[in-house]
């Protein structure tokens, strides 16, 4: 691209052109009045004074052309910038020749060229033209006179250059946007917004947007492109801040950048409120402040912090500043006008965003390399951990085997112990049964039978423990039903109608033992003392639970307790067992006999505090 620009330097028409201007402050002068004015009333127009800042006046330009010895008749008068306003061209006699207006569709232009190009047929050796110029924005009337053929070549080369420029920018935007979608790196999105604002601002500056995008909507030309230039600076500051990580590396510079960003947003709001003229000073201030801050930040990171990534930013902004500077030198006629100097801002901006794209690629590549190194280290750490875990697992497996052996041994010993306890209880039961059969005294026989029933209550519990292979708890409903079946069989001759309603619950061994002995004693007492003279004896036994609080009710339809009845051994045993359960009891003996016991058993066993206050 650079070689193409250096070799695209043209020779302008072989003639001399003198330019003068006059300002019509009241916009009232006619072409005839302008023709009558003397040269002394005009001022000489050069490239240095070709910009008219924010004037509402009409500018009249008098152009004197001397063809010398050339024989070419076809010429083109070109204005070097994309222009927003109206231009009317008259000959020396005041005859209207041509009109240009940026409010007309692009198809109405004399040449399909985004800048002003006015065709001229110069037959006379000396020709005088008058240009009536008005604009609603900053007015730059830097003009050149071309031979027709040279102009056509310039149009072609300019179009090719701008096509390459905008295509390159679009590809950079598209590439980095796709990269953002895959990587989700925020800095790539900021770059896309930054480059997109440059792209749009340059479409306005060069007129390429009017030529190829909104050619049928000239009213969009009233947008000056400054809106996007503000965004270009704001996103440039954000990109510089994000890419160089100023928040963590240089907090003071980060605060300065944040201040410039907020100031830029404020200036954008002012831009839509204030007039074009008044807002220009804020744009100049924003440009100066932003470029200086970004350049200082990049310079500090590159040469003080020694961050190599900052060189991309430093050189990028340097190219952009150089491009702007060369453009200014061209307009003050320090540099000759050619395709290279004409488009130095575009070249500078393209090199700028290209370096920024390279910076992102370099930064991302470093992150990927660092991530890959981290993955390798992590893989090595995982291998080491796997070895450690494998060794620990071997130790745990060995310990588990030992524990399983110990648990199996303990289970076997506990089972063996339960068997021996059960067998011993059975031996005791057999002894008590033999003793009862060979006893002649009825009183002693009764005592032996009661002892046998009590031992059976404990033996039945151990039998269930062995059957279920659970040695820390027992199903209370199954245990009590089996115990009552045994007792009912002993008192079978009474033909008792027994009703049982027992909740299904797990009881710890201690609680189940106490409760079994209590039920055993209450059932035996009813069978022995309550049904003398009762034709249809009935006993109801109920055990219900509400939130681990149990209520045992044993009632019969017998004679009840007499007023003179004395407390026997069974009653003492029952009270002692209730005390062991830490429960409370009550009894009724008005119509039959009813004994109620309330106690609490939770997962930890018998609750020794819950019912103390109710005693």
Domain residue limits, the chain: 12-154, 473-614
pLDDT at 260: 93
For residue 49, CA distances in Å to 21, 65, 118, 141, 453 come to 10, 20, 22, 9, 128
Instruction: Let me know: does 592 contact 555? Beta carbons within 8 Å.
Output: yes
Q: Which of 176-180, 315-319, 485-489 has the highest mean pLDDT?
A: 176-180
Helix (H, G, I), strand (E, B) or coil at 576: helix
Of 479, 441, 481, 436, the closest CA to residue 460 belongs to 479
Average pLDDT over residues 558-580: 77
Instruction: Let me know: does 356 contact 302? Beta carbons within 8 Å.
Output: no
Indicate if the pLDDT at residue 540 is higher than 60.
yes
Instruction: Let me know: does 250 contact 301? Beta carbons within 8 Å.
Output: yes
pLDDT over 90 for what percent of the chain?
Answer: 13
Indicate if the pLDDT at residue 157 is higher than 80.
yes
pLDDT at 178: 92
Cα-trace Rg, the chain: 55
Q: Which are the contacts of 615, defined by CB distance < 8 A and separation ≥ 6?
A: 584
What is the rounded distance in angstroms from the CA atom of residue 290 to the CA atom of residue 223? Answer: 22
pLDDT digits (tens, 9 = 90+) for 527-537: 888 888 788 88
Average pLDDT over residues 552-567: 78
Pull the structure tokens for residue 14: 């072989």
What is the overall mean pLDDT for the chain? Answer: 80
Of 104, 139, 114, the closest CA to residue 206 belongs to 114
Average pLDDT over residues 547-559: 88
Burial degree of 149 (CB within 10 A; 0-12, 13-18, 19+): exposed
Instruction: Let me know: does 558 contact 531? Beta carbons within 8 Å.
Output: yes
Pull the structure tokens for residue 508: 């710890």
Average pLDDT over residues 573-584: 86
Query: Sign of torsion, CA 396 402 406 411?
Result: positive
pLDDT digits (tens, 9 = 90+) for 372-425: 888 899 889 988 888 888 888 888 888 888 887 776 676 666 666 666 666 666
Instruction: Let me know: does 185 contact 369? Beta carbons within 8 Å.
Output: no
Indicate if the pLDDT at residue 462 is higher than 80.
no
CATH architecture of the domain covering 473-614 = 2-Layer Sandwich (3.30)
Supply the CATH classification number for the domain 12-154: 2.60.40.2380
Indicate if the pLDDT at residue 612 is higher than 60.
no
pLDDT at 505: 87
pLDDT at 445: 65
For residue 289, CA distances in Å to 47, 233, 282 come to 27, 10, 10
pTM of the predicted structure, to 2 decimals: 0.57
User: Residue 145: what are its φ and ψ, rounded to 5°?
Assistant: -110, 120
What is the rounded distance in angstroms from the CA atom of residue 204 to the CA atom of residue 202? Answer: 5
**Which residue carries 């072409």 as its tokens?**
31
Helix (H, G, I), strand (E, B) or coil at 551: strand
What is the rounded distance in angstroms from the CA atom of residue 446 to the CA atom of residue 494? Answer: 16
- E-assigned strand segments in 72-165: 74-79, 85-91, 96-101, 117-121, 126-135, 139-140, 143-147
Average pLDDT over residues 228-253: 90
Say how many C-beta atoms besides its own lie within 10 A of residue 569's C-beta: 10
Indicate if the pLDDT at residue 59 is higher than 60.
yes
Instruction: Let me know: does 476 contact 500? Beta carbons within 8 Å.
Output: no
Poorest-pLDDT segment among 149-158, 161-170, 410-419: 410-419
């Amino acid at each position: 691209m650079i070689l193409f620009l250096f070799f695209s330097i043209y020779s302008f028409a072989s003639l001399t052109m003198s330019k003068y201007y006059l300002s019509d402050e009241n916009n009232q002068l006619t072409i005839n009045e302008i023709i009558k004015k003397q040269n002394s009333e005009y001022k000489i127009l050069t490239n240095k004074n070709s910009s008219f800042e924010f004037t509402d006046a009409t500018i009249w330009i008098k152009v004197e052309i001397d063809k010398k010895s050339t024989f070419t008749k076809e010429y083109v008068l070109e204005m070097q910038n994309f222009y927003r306003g109206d231009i009317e061209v008259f000959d020396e006699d005041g005859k209207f020749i041509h009109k240009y207006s940026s409010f007309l569709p692009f198809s109405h232009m004399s040449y399909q060229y985004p800048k002003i190009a006015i065709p001229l047929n110069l037959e006379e050796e000396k020709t005088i033209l008058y240009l009536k110029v008005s604009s609603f924005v900053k007015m730059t009337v830097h003009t050149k006179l071309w031979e027709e053929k040279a102009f056509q070549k310039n149009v072609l080369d300019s179009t090719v250059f701008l096509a390459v420029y905008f295509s390159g920018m679009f590809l950079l935007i598209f590439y980095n946007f796709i990269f953002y979608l895959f990587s989700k790196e925020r800095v790539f999105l900021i770059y896309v917004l930054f480059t997109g604002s440059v792209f749009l601002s340059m479409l306005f500056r060069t007129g390429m947007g009017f030529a190829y995008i909104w050619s049928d909507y000239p009213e969009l030309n009233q947008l000056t492109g400054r809106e996007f230039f503000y965004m270009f600076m704001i996103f440039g500051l954000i990109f510089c801040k994000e890419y160089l990580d100023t928040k963590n590396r240089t907090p003071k510079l980060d605060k300065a950048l944040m201040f410039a960003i907020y100031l830029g947003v404020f200036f954008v709001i002012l831009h839509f409120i204030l007039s074009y003229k008044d807002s220009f000073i804020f744009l100049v201030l924003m440009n100066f402040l932003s470029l200086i801050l970004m350049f200082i930040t990049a310079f500090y990171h590159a040469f003080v912090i020694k961050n190599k990534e900052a060189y991309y930013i430093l050189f990028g902004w340097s190219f952009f500043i150089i491009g702007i500077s060369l453009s200014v030198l061209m307009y003050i006629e320090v540099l000759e006008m050619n395709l290279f100097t004409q488009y130095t801002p575009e070249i500078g901006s393209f090199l700028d965003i290209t370096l920024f794209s390279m910076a992102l690629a370099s930064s991302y590549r470093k992150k990927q390399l660092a991530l890959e190194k981290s993955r390798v280290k992590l893989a090595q750490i995982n291998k080491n951990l796997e070895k450690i875990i494998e060794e620990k697992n071997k130790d745990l497996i060995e310990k588990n085997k030992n524990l399983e052996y110990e648990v199996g041994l303990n289970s076997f010993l506990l089972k063996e112990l339960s068997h021996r306890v059960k067998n011993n209880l059975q031996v005791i039961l057999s002894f008590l049964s033999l003793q009862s059969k060979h006893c002649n005294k009825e009183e002693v026989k009764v005592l032996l039978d009661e002892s046998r029933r009590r031992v059976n209550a404990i033996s039945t519990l151990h039998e269930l423990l062995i059957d279920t292979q659970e040695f820390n708890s027992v199903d209370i409903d199954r245990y009590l039903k089996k115990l009552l079946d045994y007792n009912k069989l002993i008192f079978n001759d009474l033909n008792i109608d027994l009703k049982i309603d027992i909740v299904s619950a797990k009881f710890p061994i201690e609680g189940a033992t106490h409760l079994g002995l209590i039920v055993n004693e209450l059932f035996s007492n009813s069978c022995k003392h309550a049904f003398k003279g009762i034709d249809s004896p009935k006993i109801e036994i109920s055990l219900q639970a509400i939130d681990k609080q149990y209520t045992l009710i044993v009632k019969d339809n017998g004679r009840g307790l007499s007023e003179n009845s004395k407390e026997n051994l069974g009653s003492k045993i029952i009270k002692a067992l209730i005390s062991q359960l830490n429960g409370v009891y009550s009894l009724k003996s008005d119509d039959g006999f009813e004994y109620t016991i309330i106690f609490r058993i939770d997962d930890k066993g018998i609750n020794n505090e819950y019912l103390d206050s109710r005693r």
